[in-house]
């Protein structure tokens, strides 16, 4: 078992996370559909990896899916979505990220503020 965050993660979980990360490298833009499906995985680390990989694709279709993840029940996923929206660079995210600046979690608020700074050119 490996420790990831504050939770123990088994080897099968780690291989699934690594698999999501590898999709981008192996298949590039063709990985889009798989990554979108991975956003709804039960494992939060898979969802986080998928959000990050979608941002790396720089495909504007990712916007709607990443914005949806700002409402995830897990704070780490919301943080990853906020950061990923900044990396994606789509100015449509300014409104949703502004709302996330009021998130109950400090790190989500900070991730949203950093992404807003990127999108606003600050």
DSSP code of residue 61: T
The answer to whether residue 13 scores a pLDDT higher than 70 is no
Which domain, by its residues, includes 76? 2-120
Nearest to 17 by CA among 42, 65, 62, 50: 50
Q: What is the pLDDT of residue 15?
A: 64
Query: For the domain that residue 68 is a member of, what is the CATH number?
Result: 1.25.10.10
State the total domains in the chain: 1
Give the tokens for residue 17. 């996370």
As a whole-number percent, the residues of the chain with pLDDT over 70 amount to 77
Tell me the pLDDT tens digit for each residue of 18-72. 766 666 555 666 778 888 988 999 999 999 999 998 998 888 999 999 999 999 9
């Amino acid at each position: 078992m490996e420790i990831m965050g504050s939770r123990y993660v088994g080897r099968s979980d780690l291989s699934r996370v690594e698999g999501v990360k590898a999709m981008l490298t192996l298949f590039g833009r063709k990985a889009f559909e798989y990554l979108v499906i991975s956003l709804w995985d039960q494992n939060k680390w898979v969802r986080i990896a998928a959000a990050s990989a979608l941002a790396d694709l720089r495909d504007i279709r990712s916007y709607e899916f990443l914005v949806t993840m700002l409402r995830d029940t897990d704070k780490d996923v919301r943080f990853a979505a906020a950061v990923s929206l900044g990396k994606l660079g789509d100015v449509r995210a300014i409104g949703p990220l502004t709302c996330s600046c009021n998130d109950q979690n400090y790190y989500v608020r900070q991730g949203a503020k950093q992404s807003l700074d990127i999108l606003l050119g600050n």
